[in-house]
Amino acid sequence: MKRLFFYVITVATVCMSSCGKDFLTVRPIEDLTGNNYWETKNDVEMFVRGLYSKFRHATMNHAFFPSTGDFRCAPINRTAGSNGAGYFMEHLSYLKQNNLDGLFSQYYGTTRDYSTADLAPGNTDYFGFKNIRNWSRFYNIIANANIAIYEIERREGVLSDREKREFIAEARFMRNLSYFFLVRLFGDVPYYTEAYHSEAIGRTPMLQVLASINEDMQVCYQDLPWTYDRPEDVGSRAMRGGAIALMMHVNMWYAGFSEINKRVYYERVEELGKELMEQNGGAYELLPLQRTKEIFKGRTKEGLFEIVQNYNYDELFHLSATYADYVLRAPYKNVAITRSYIHYEPEFMRKLYPEDVADQRKTFWFDQNIYATNGDFVYLKYANIFIEEGEDQNPDDNMVVFRLADAILLRAEALAELDRDGEARTVLNQVRSRANAQLVTTDAGQDLKDAIWWERTRELMGEGHFFYDLVRTRKVLNAEYTTAPMSVTAFQQRGWTWPIDRSAMVGNPFMTLNTYWSNLN
């Protein structure tokens, strides 16, 4: 990696706000990290809000969540006769088979040579896969967060003690969220927390990074409010519930890769989950499935952290960025899109939703074509459309990163791993009860663990969790859970990671790449 992000990069998009509000005070970039800045609460808030804009830029202007979380090793098929059947969506086949070398070979292929985009504009990298392997966008967030923490801590008289703690906790949340995303993508990653960092460093072992994330969050998470008074801040800014969900995921990932003391991490997840569910003071709750459109439009009591888009403020995710684009068709999008681009293998869908078993998710998230393979398949979890009829745009939904159902199921999983089966069933059944699905009453041991895994797959489908759940539980090795199981050797060689862009090597003698992949430029 190039020298890790000198301070000039820290304000490239800092004046952007994910709430659709412009800040009127504009200063030269060279002033924004010096003594002429950080003079008012508005200065601090503007800088911290910039972290959310940068995170949005790192994830939502290319096919980040579908490519990294939803489609790798997933039982998906491109629908014959749909717009997704041609070479333009060849990436779906590569992701399904976990063939990232094949994915990136497209950049040099004869039919779709991305490297000649200047000569053949039609061959541009529409889905932004090179953005995914280039970790600089996340390190931009980290560099900004480090500066925010440093500058806020040393300022006196600008903020009250409570305000100072809250802003620092927000910055720490965004720093640690970025590191967690980096770990899940690349495994070992460079780790630093000092402001204005410019020293070339190598990659820190993944478990060490996870331990640092957990320690850093433990210090600050209770400085965050459970929720906000302003509706526009709910979910879109760091809240205590989102911080707890992050720590739960970090500990579950640690448990999945640690060879010793797994019980310690499961116990921590259970404790955090209990705190989230029982001490939130009414800030969070599972909403009825009849309110699905509200849940995924965002800013409800079920959302813990979300990335915001809003057509009213011209804040639009890239068309490739959302899972919805693949699973909606007319009348839920452009009338010319008569077939959904993908469908799931019917055997997989029947495993999730047996035909003769009641579950309200079948009613509110699907129609009668839940098992279809002819293009009629449609997934209605993301179907909020507030655009002119006939436009080919994505639904006006937020990207939900963490929500309460996810955290509840992590707690149930941790309880099952701790052999506290009765408690695990009780927690699991909170999610099943909301769906009016048959409660789990007798499953125990491995059967209960499997039931919880399938419930996460069922509940969180299309929310960027599927592949990561396969990896951290090592179910990615088992054909019972994926149609493209990974070999033990490939897993040990970290075939679950993404290749790292070679730009990380420039000017850094300490940097290494992920050697499982061929590391094409």
The gap between the terminal CA atoms of the chain, to the nearest Å, is 14
CA–CA separation, 320 and 66 (whole Å): 9
- Contacts with 66 (C-beta within 8 Å, 6 or more apart), sequence order: 320, 321, 322, 323, 326, 464
Q: What is the pLDDT of residues 442-461, one digit of tens each?
A: 999 999 999 999 999 999 99
More confident residue, 80 or 8: 80
Q: Is residue 243 part of a domain?
A: no
Query: What mean pLDDT is predicted for residues 289-313?
Result: 92
> Average pLDDT for residues 396-412, to the nearest whole number?
96
Instruction: Provide the pLDDT confidence category of residue 246 given band limits of 50, 70 and 90.
Output: very high
pLDDT: is 382 or 359 the higher one? Answer: 359
CATH number, domain containing residue 179: 1.25.40.890
* Pair of tokens at residue 59: 């994830």
What is residue 19's predicted lDDT score, i.e. its pLDDT? 36
Beta bridge partners of 78: 342
Cα 363 off chain centre by: 26
Residue at 420 is within a domain: no
Q: In this structure, is residue 321 part of a structural domain?
A: no
Which two three-digit tokens encode residue 51? 């972290």
Residue 520: predicted pLDDT = 63
Q: Which of 171, 285, 300, 333 is nearest to 232 (CA)?
A: 300
pLDDT at residue 1 in the model: 41
Q: Please list, residue by residue across 337-373, b when 16 or more beta carbons sit within 10 angstroms of its beta carbon and e when fewer do.
A: bebbbbbbeeebbebbbeeeeebebbebbbeeebbbe
Which among 11, 209, 147, 484 has a CA at the least distance from the CA of 476? 484
- State the pLDDT at residue 5: 36
C-alpha distances (whole Å) from 165 to each of 161, 173, 224, 383 are 6, 12, 8, 38
In the predicted model, is pLDDT for residue 2 greater than 50?
no
pLDDT tens digits for 8-65? 333 433 333 333 333 223 334 344 555 678 999 999 999 999 999 999 999 999 999 9
Instruction: Note the pLDDT tens digit of each residue in 156-194.
Output: 999 999 999 999 999 999 999 999 999 999 999 999 999
Q: What is the pLDDT of residue 17?
A: 36
Average pLDDT over residues 63-80: 97
What is d(CA 162, CA 151) in angstroms, rounded to the nearest whole number? 16
DSSP annotation of 68 reads I
pLDDT at 21: 33
Confidence of residue 145 (pLDDT cuts 50, 70, 90): very high
Q: What residue has token string 């000569």?
A: 119
Domains contained in the chain, number: 1
pLDDT at 86: 81
Angle between helices 404-417 and 421-434 (to 10 degrees): 160
At residue 326, does pLDDT exceed 70? Answer: yes
Q: What is the DSSP string of 479-519?
A: TTT-SSPPPHHHHHTTTTSPPPPGGGGTT-TT----TTS--
With 0-12 / 13-18 / 19 or more C-beta atoms within 10 angstroms meaning exposed / middle / buried, residue 258 is: middle
Whether 134 maps to a domain, the answer reads: yes
* Per-residue model confidence (pLDDT) at position 518: 86
What's the token pair of residue 316? 């639009």
The b-or-e profile of 134-172 (16+ CB within 10 A means b, else e) is bbbbbbbbbbbbbbbbbbbeeeeeebeeeebbbbbbbbb
**CA–CA distance from 394 to each of 126, 168, 460, 516 (Å)?**
15, 34, 19, 35
Give the E-state strand segments of 7-106 in sequence order.
Answer: 76-78
CB atoms within 10 A of CB 477: 17
Mean pLDDT of the chain: 89
Strand-strand pairing, 303-307 and 399-403: antiparallel
Q: Which residue has the tokens 């420039």?
A: 506
Say yes or no to pLDDT of 295 above 50: yes
Sign of CA dihedral 100, 102, 104, 106: negative
Rounded distance between C-alpha atoms, residue 68 and residue 63, angstroms: 8
Q: pTM for the whole thing?
A: 0.92
41 assigned to some structural domain: yes
Cβ neighbours of residue 140 under 8 Å, at least 6 residues apart? 5, 9, 10, 12, 54, 58
| DSSP secondary structure letters along 229-285 | SSGGGTTTS--HHHHHHHHHHHHHHHHHH-SS-HHHHHHHHHHHHHHHHHSSTTS--
Q: Is residue 407 part of a domain?
A: no
- Domain limits for position 9: 1-62+128-220+487-521
Give me the torsion for CA of 283, 287, 292, 298, rounded to 10°: 0
Q: Which residues have a Cβ under 8 Å from the Cβ of 327 and sit 6 or more positions away?
A: 340, 341, 342, 377, 378, 379, 382, 462
Quickly count helices (H) and strands (E) in the chain: 19, 4
Lowest mean pLDDT among 21-35, 136-150, 268-282, 286-300: 21-35
Owner of token pair 């070679």: 502
pLDDT tens track for 354-381: 999 999 999 999 999 999 999 999 999 9
State the SS3 of 3-22. Answer: CCCCHHHHHCCCCCCCCCCC
Paired strand residues for 399: 307
Higher pLDDT, 390 or 293: 293
List, for residues 497-517, the tens digit of each pLDDT value.
999 999 999 999 999 999 999
Look at residue 216 in the predicted model and tell me its pLDDT: 98
Q: What phi and psi, each to the nearest 5 degrees, are found at residue 305?
A: -160, 135
Is 411 a member of any domain?
A: no
Whether residue 351 contacts residue 455, with contact meaning beta carbons closer than 8 Å, is answered with no
Q: Is residue 470 part of a domain?
A: no
